[in-house]
Structure 1
Amino acid sequence: MRNLCFIILLATFVSCTHSQNNTKTTLQFTDTVRVLNDLVNITNTQKPRNYKNITTLDSVANYIKSEFIKVCDTTAFQNFDVENKTYKNVIGSIGIENKERIIIGAHYDVYGNHTGADDNASGVAGILELARLLSKEKLNYRIDFVAYTLEEPPFFRTAQMGSAIHAHYLNENKIPVKGMICLEMIGYYNDQPNSQEYPIPGMSLIYGNKADYITVVQHKNSGEFSNEFNQLFKSKKIIKTESLKGNSMLPGVDFSDHLNYWNLNYDAVMITNTAFYRNKNYHKKGDLLSTLNLHKMALVIEQLYLTIQSLK
C-alpha cells in the first residue's frame, strides 16, 4: 500500500511541478525521488508525530537514523526525559576527523494532530538529502546532522526543546562550533500575486508580494559564519533567495530551533519559506504533501549543498 501511495504521489508531484514552477534550473545533484520517499516515510504514520505519541516519534526517529546509517560516519540517539517520558534527537555525523563542527538541524515533531508536511517534514527531508550529498565530499569541518524533537508547543521556548538539549550539550562540553543551519519549512511556494505576507506591511516593497523565494534569516548581530553563509548562498542563484537580519522583536525571526543556539551565542541561520507568512496550512490539517512544490524544495537543498561545499 505504501509503495502504491508513493507512486501516486510521485505522479502528482511531477504534474504539479510542471505547472507551478517557472524556473529553468535543472537539478544536478538532488534526487527528488529520494526526497519524496523521505517525505512519505516521515508523514505516513498511523498517529501524528506529536509529543503525546511516543511510539510514532520513535518510529520516525528510527527511520531517520536508518537513513543516516547509510551515509554517515557515526550515528546516535540523544535521549532525554521530559515528564517521565523519553524523547530522542537523532544525530548523524560526517567528517569526524575534523575538530570544528557545523550543525545542520531540523525538527521532526508536529503541532497537534496534523501531517506537518511543510512543518517540518520538508526540513528533515532536507537534512537527509544533504547528508547523502555531503558524505561524498572532503570537507574542512565535521558536520552533525541533527533531527530534533519537541520543537513544537507546548515545549517551544522551553529548556525541553530537543534543540535546547543539543545546544547545551555542545556548550557544556566546550565543543567548537563554526555555525548552525536550521531548516524550517522549505517546501511551500506560490507564484501568485499577494501570496506573501509580512510582519510589517512595508516589507513587501522590499521583498515583493509573491511567495516564490527562500529566505536566509540571520541575527541582527550576525557573526562571520552567518555572513559568509548568506553571501555564498545567495551567490549560487539556483533559486530566488532573500535575506533578513533581525531579532525577537520581529515576529517569526526566532520561531525555530536556531533560537537555542542564538541563546548560547552560537552563530546560526534559519533557512525558511517564511512559514505562516505564506503557508496558510501552518499548524492545520491542510499541511499535506500535495501542497508542496517538490522541485523548488529540491532547488533549496541543492543550493545548500553547494554553499556548504564552498564554506572556508
Structure 2
Amino acid sequence: MKSKFDSKLSFVESFAEIPLTELKPMNKSLSTKQLMTSSESSHHFNDAFHPNADINRLKANIENNLSETRNGLSNISLKIITQQWIVNTFNTNNLLTSTQKFTISGHSTQEQEGLNIIGIYPGVYRSGPNDRLLLIGAHYDTVGNTSGVNDNGSGISALLEIIHLLNAYNCRLTYSLMFVALDLEEYGALGSKYFVNDYLIPNELIERKSQFIGAIILDTILNFNQTLGSQDIPYDIFKALPKWSQHIKQTQFVGDFLALIHRNNLDNELSDSITKFWRSHAKQMPYKLSKMSINSLGNNIPDFKTLTNHANLLRSDHIMFWYHNNPLINTTLTAVLLTDTGIIHIT
C-alpha cells in the first residue's frame, strides 16, 4: 500500500513525463515530429514511446537532498550543499551547465548572494540562430528555516527527473530545452528577475537570436488532497476567476488537482499543449489539471492596484517572464505556472 507521501509523489511523477512527449512549438506549422527528431542512437517521441518517471528516484531526491532549509540567511552551508548537488546533477546528465551569480540588498532584506543554475539540453539548432527554447524552471530556495519539501523540493525533483529521462534515453531534439534552478524566489522572485533580464534576454534572445517558446514554472506541486474543504479560494482569486471559483465550490473545495495558471490569449498555446497531453493520458495520470485562465492581465506591466488584486496568482517566478521590463525587447514572454496552489491548499 502506498503511503500518503508516495501518493503525493505520484502527483509529481505525472508531471515529470509531460515535457518529453507532446509539448509542441508555438508555430502551428511545425509538428511534434519536426520538433523532436531521431537517430540510430536516440529515441524519437511518438504515441508508442512514453518514458516513465521513477517515483523512487523522485522520493530519494526529496528525502536525501531537498528536505532541509535552503536559505542563505538561515543556513548558508546547507544551501551551498544543495547548489553543488544540483550543478553535479546537471553535469552528470550532460547538460551544458553554467551559473549566474547576483547580489541583492535593500531595506527589506539583508545583503545576500544568489545563484541561478542553468542547464541546456542542446537541440540540433543550438549552434545557429534558429533555435527555439522551451524553458522548465523551479526555485530551490526556502522560506527561513522551513524544510522546503513541497516549496519547492517538489518542483526541483520533477525538473531533475525530466533531465534524467532525457539523458537516460539519449534523446535527440531538434530544438533546445533549458532547465533553470532559480534562487531567491522567496524574496520576491529575484532570481528569475536577474535570470530573465541579465541572462535569457541578452544572451539567448538578443545575441543568439533564439526564439522563445515559453517557460513552464514548477512551484509546490506535491500537495494532493481528496478530502472535502482542502482547497481555499482567497478573495482576489474569487474576483479574478469567478468561473473557476464556482467550479471549486461545486466540487466541495477538494484540492485534488494541479493548477495551470496562465493569461488567456497570451500563454494559450503552451497551456493548451500541456492540457491536451494531460487529458489524452488521463488513464495513466488520474490526477486532475485545473486551468486558471486569467482574462484581466495583459501584455503590459499592470499598475500597482491590478497587481495587488491578483497577488495570489502572481506568487512565483512566472511573473518575471510576464513583466520583465527589459528595454531590449518590448513584449511579454510566454510563461505558465504549475502549482498545487501552495498556501491556499490545505495539507
Q: TM-score, normalised by structure 2?
A: 0.67
1:166 to 181, 195, 210: 195
Distance change in 2, residues 1:74/1:21 (3 Å): closer
Q: Displacement, 1:181?
A: 0.3
Which secondary structure does the structure 1 equivalent of 2:312 belong to? coil
Could you tell me which runs of 5 or more consecutive residues in structure 1 were left unpaired when the two chains were aligned. 1-12, 281-312
| Alignment of 1:274 onto 2:341 | yes
Percentage identity across aligned positions?
A: 27
Q: Displacement, 1:22?
A: 11
Q: What's 1:230 paired with? A: 275
Which secondary structure does the structure 2 equivalent of 1:101 belong to? strand
Q: Distance in 1 between matches of 2:95 and 2:76?
A: 27
Question: Is contact 1:234-1:242 (8 Å) kept?
Answer: no
Q: What's 2:66 paired with? A: 43
Q: Distance in 1 between matches of 2:144 and 2:8?
A: 29
| Alignment of 1:242 onto 2:286 | no
Q: Displacement, 1:40?
A: 1.8
- Give CA-to-partner distance per residue, 1:255-308, whole Å, 9 cap, x none: 10111111131111101111112135xxxxxxxxxxxxxxxxxxxxxxxxxxxx
Q: Distance in 1 between matches of 2:184 and 2:164?
A: 25
Deviates more, 1:112-121 or 1:93-102: 93-102
Q: Displacement, 1:18?
A: 7.5
Question: Is contact 1:197-1:277 (8 Å) kept?
Answer: yes
Report 1:72-87 matches (<5 A). 72-83=94-105, 85-87=112-114
Which secondary structure does the structure 1 equivalent of 2:254 belong to? coil
- Give CA-to-partner distance per residue, 1:27-47, whole Å, 9 cap, x none: 9611111111111233344xx
Q: What's 1:307 paired with? A: none
Q: What's 1:15 paired with? A: 3
Question: Is contact 1:179-1:226 (8 Å) kept?
Answer: no
- Give CA-to-partner distance per residue, 1:5-50, whole Å, 9 cap, x none: xxxxxxxx94336888999x999611111111111233344xx211
Q: What's 2:115 paired with? A: 88
What root-mean-square deviation, in Å, do the aligned CA atoms of Structure 1 and Structure 2 show? 2.8
Question: Is contact 1:185-1:275 (8 Å) kept?
Answer: yes
Question: Is contact 1:214-1:273 (8 Å) kept?
Answer: yes
2:254 to 210, 214, 227: 210
Question: Is contact 1:226-1:267 (8 Å) kept?
Answer: no
How many residue pairs end up in the alignment?
Answer: 260
Q: Distance in 2 between matches of 1:151 and 1:261?
A: 13
Q: Distance in 2 between matches of 1:230 and 1:18?
A: 24
Bigger Rg, structure 1 or 2: 2
Question: Is contact 2:120-2:178 (8 Å) kept?
Answer: yes
Q: Displacement, 1:229?
A: 3.3
Q: Distance in 1 between matches of 2:99 and 2:288?
A: 35
Question: Is contact 2:136-2:215 (8 Å) kept?
Answer: yes
Q: Distance in 2 between matches of 1:233 and 1:195?
A: 23
Question: Is contact 2:9-2:222 (8 Å) kept?
Answer: no
Report 1:1-312 matches (<5 A). 14-16=2-4, 29-45=52-68, 48-52=69-73, 53-83=75-105, 85-98=112-125, 99-135=131-167, 136=169, 137-152=171-186, 155-156=187-188, 161-168=190-197, 169-173=199-203, 174=206, 175-199=210-234, 200=238, 203-207=244-248, 208=251, 209-223=253-267, 224-237=269-282, 238=285, 239-246=287-294, 247=297, 248=307, 249-264=309-324, 265-279=332-346
Q: What's 1:8 paired with? A: none
Which secondary structure does the structure 2 equivalent of 1:252 belong to? helix
Q: Distance in 2 between matches of 1:42 and 1:18?
A: 17
Question: Is contact 2:123-2:173 (8 Å) kept?
Answer: no
Q: Distance in 2 between matches of 1:105 and 1:143?
A: 11
Q: Distance in 1 between matches of 2:60 and 2:245?
A: 35
Q: TM-score, normalised by structure 1?
A: 0.74
Letter in 2 for 1:113: N
Which secondary structure does the structure 2 equivalent of 1:180 belong to? strand
- Give CA-to-partner distance per residue, 1:158-182, whole Å, 9 cap, x none: xxx1111111121123243111000
Q: Displacement, 1:243?
A: 0.5
Could you tell me which runs of 5 or more consecutive residues in structure 2 were left unpaired when the two chains were aligned. 18-50, 106-110, 126-130, 298-306, 325-331
Letter in 2 for 1:51: G
Question: Is contact 2:133-2:214 (8 Å) kept?
Answer: yes
Question: Is contact 2:67-2:149 (8 Å) kept?
Answer: no
